[in-house]
Chain A
Amino acid sequence: MARTSEAAPAALKRRRITSMPRTVLLFAVPALALYTFVLLVPTARGTVFAFTNWDGLSRTFDFVGFNNFAAIFANPDSVKAIINTLIIAFVTTFIANAIGLALAVALNSRIKSRNALRVFFFAPAVLTPVVTAYLFKYIFAPLGPLNGVLDAFGLGVLKQDWLGDPNWALIAVMIVIIWQQSGYTMVIYLAGLQGIPAELLEASAVDGAGAGRRFWSITRPLLAPAITISVMLTLIHGLKVFAEVYVMTGGGPGNSTNSLSTLIYKNAFQFGLFGSSIAMALILLVMVALISAIQYRALLAQGGHK
């Protein structure tokens, strides 16, 4: 008995170590199986359909090689949608992060009412994009509140057909995305700023560093992980943008604001061109993966953390 009890702890330890990977695997099986069935298998099947002329309904289809991809790049409306997607992604990422960072730095101070202001600026991020888009569709109407306010302040010359003029419609859509994303990035930056030790900033102030110098040499490098995640999330949101465009303009006027996502929806569900729309979805997937990877590596090189 005594021998058994002495030997037990060592055996138990050995068993724990050797059985660890299997146990982990066992726990991971349901999630991995679901992930495989829900994501990997449909994605792989979808990839096959990108090379067919399937209409989403028929039981038969033909393989058409790379015709769907060739047609996408030959169609000016698809190319326009790709360009719009990139413009939306980069412009909204840059401006929303700049505004979010500025708000976070401002609201990280000890000003009174900072909590109320944080809620105020974060509130748009809580709204669903569909609600926001309907709200701004009303605000941007030709006789809507925005033009009304401009008129009231004697700035009638600045009035625009915001959503009806192809030169302004994309800008109007981006304004809404920036308005919503800025609060979101602000919260990420606030969390990052609150992790920066106050002593460091105080020490540098004692050493004579000004506010700009303190931000650039201390806050910015220590904020790098927050910048990495915030830029990546807003960039991905911009690349996948759908609701704002669909609700505010429907991709119009005359295709001028279509993003890849709205064009994918239109091709699949309005035209029944599933093969073509899956090909577009693949292009979007590659775009998101490539751009995200590039910006992630670029930011890591600047001092961001994994």
Chain B
Amino acid sequence: MESKKAIAVTLAALLALGTAACSSPAPTPAETAGADAPLSGTLVIGAYATAKPALDPIIAQFEEANPGLTVTATYADNQQYQAAIRTQLSSGTAPDVFTVWPGNGNPGAMEVLAPTGYLLDLSTIDGLPALPEALDSVTKIDDKRYVFPMTVAGIGAVYNEQAVEEAGAKVPTTWSEVLDFCEAATDAGKVGFSLGLQSLFVTQLINYSLTSTLVYAADPDFESKVKDGDATFLKSKWKKAFEMYMDMNDAGCFTANPNGTTNDIAQADLASGKALASVTLTTTISQIKALAPAGTTFGMFALPATEDPDDTWMPAAAFDGFGLNAKAKNPAAAAAFLKYMASPDSMASYATVAGSLPSIDTDKFTLNPALAILDTDWKAGKTYPFPDQLWPNPVVSSAHKEGVQKVFGGQASIDDILNAMDVAYKTQ
């Protein structure tokens, strides 16, 4: 009898422990009341690691302005973050404020998280400044905004000004000048465009650049046509863009063995002047600068895809997005922090550190000369979001990224990859 009792007690204790671990306090929307009262308690923030240098100073200032509040911020690399945030949301332990990718395309993106009810509708927060309409497609669903992007980032060819001058190369404004640029680099014993395809995100950047001109500028409705089944990647100018990507490879534009080269090595080559340029995210310019010898300066151009410079668009997208937990433990502090981040001073400081443009134009921001082309094209409306932000699931992007490696490795043809992207697009 005693042993049976002991077994029962042990099981009951374990069950109680399990129940306690699985449950969480249920915050109510009413907790948002009293937002004007001094903030107290703890505010928990979760973000991807690259946000840390830009976010930490804002957090410090916010804490200083709210002495009764403790802010805890945790950071993780993109993939680990995406895995963690989903688990935290479903188990009720997610941060109050956290990184949400605008649009779609990965497991931590707005289109994935919002339908599950875990994201707060930011339209309900009074005093949050309006965002440019151009960002609505990747920050709103059914007129409700779920993500607040701090910046606009672009994809362009960052070039080492001293290395370009030494090689006697000319910054290209047309497609044929791109090939001339590569030739000049090769003649000078350098690489035209350093390329580290082993880092998977890099694989997509040149195709995004070329298609922004060839596909999306030429037909701004292309994405909705694919969605409706009226167009496919395979039978579009995506094929031409991919072929031009391989033309650049055939012309010796890239680092030798790009599939075995990491982005770190590609960036180091650009910083040292072994490579003249590299098509990259604007957010990486500060990292490249940090690797470069003192006195090295960098510029950026939009990668041309036609013979008319006026045709050229560049990819630019809402970036560094943040959302609020619909079941935040400290909703008042979460809303106050988002408004603090959206202030002109915070926007300017964040964009400066992140190496991007602030998502809301402010005179507090001093433009980095290397971002001039992004600023010009963004204001002129000659940009298109990163395509994967509009794709319906992450598998399309994966098919594209792994496909680029396969084509470079001779494992598949361009048609195979575009077809795989079409299949993935329709799958879910």
Contact = CB atoms under 8 A, between A and B. Distances in A.
Interface in A8-61: 22-23, 25-26, 29-30, 33-34, 37, 55-59
B14 A269 contact: no
A163 interface: yes
Nearest to B404: A254
B406 A250 contact: no
A124 interface: no
A142 interface: yes
Contacts of A25: 3, 7
Given A164-B260, A271-B394, A272-B394, A30 B409 contact: no
Given A25-B3, A59-B116, A141 B408 contact: no
A254 B411 contact: yes
Interface in B24-77: none
A148 interface: no
Secondary structure of the B side of the interface? helix
Interface centre among A141, A163, A253, A255 (most CB of B within 10 A): A253
Given A29-B7, A162-B260, A253-B198, A269 B82 contact: yes
Interface stretch (B106-114, B284-292, B341-349): B106-114
Contacts of A271: 107, 393-395, 398
Secondary structure of the A side of the interface? loop
A161 B402 contact: no
A164 B86 CA distance: 32
Given A141-B262, A142-B256, A252-B259, A164 B394 contact: no
Contact of B260 (A56, A59, A161, A272): A161
Interface string B367-408: 000000000000000000000000001110010001101111
A30 B260 contact: no
Interface string B186-210: 0000000000011010000000000
B18 interface: yes
Contacts of A249: 198
Interface in A271-295: 271-272
B402 A254 contact: yes
B90 interface: yes
B11 A33 contact: yes
B265 interface: yes
Contact of B86 (A34, A162, A166, A272): A272
B231 interface: no
A56 B116 CA distance: 11
Interface residues of B, number: 46
A164 B258 contact: yes
Contacts of B408: 253-254
A137 B87 CA distance: 30
A142 B195 CA distance: 13
Nearest to B394: A271
B176 interface: no
B198 A164 contact: yes
B107 A161 contact: no
A143 B275 CA distance: 15
A25 B403 CA distance: 56
Given A26-B7, A165-B260, A271-B394, A37 B409 contact: no
A267 to B, nearest CB: 9
A256 B394 contact: no
B246 interface: no
Interface in A160-210: 161-166
B261 interface: yes
B6 to A, nearest CB: 6
Contacts of B198: 163-164, 249-250, 252-253
Nearest to A142: B257
B107 A165 contact: no
A113 interface: no
Given A141-B261, A166-B409, A270 B6 contact: no
A266 B406 CA distance: 18
Interface string A71-95: 0000000000000000000000000
B402 A56 contact: no
Contacts of A33: 10-11, 14
A26 B394 CA distance: 50
Interface in B394-428: 394-395, 398, 402-403, 405-412
B89 interface: yes
A61 B90 CA distance: 14
A243 B11 CA distance: 36
B116 A57 contact: yes
Nearest to A272: B107
B83 interface: yes
A26 B3 contact: yes
Contacts of A143: 265
B107 A253 contact: no
9 contacts: A56-B87, A57-B112, A57-B116, A137-B262, A142-B260, A164-B260, A166-B406, A253-B409, A254-B411
**A-B CB proximity, top 5 nearest:** A164-B260, A254-B406, A164-B259, A269-B83, A161-B257
Given A143-B265, A256-B409, 13 more contacts: A26-B7, A29-B6, A29-B7, A29-B10, A57-B118, A142-B260, A164-B261, A165-B409, A253-B406, A269-B79, A269-B83, A271-B395, A272-B107
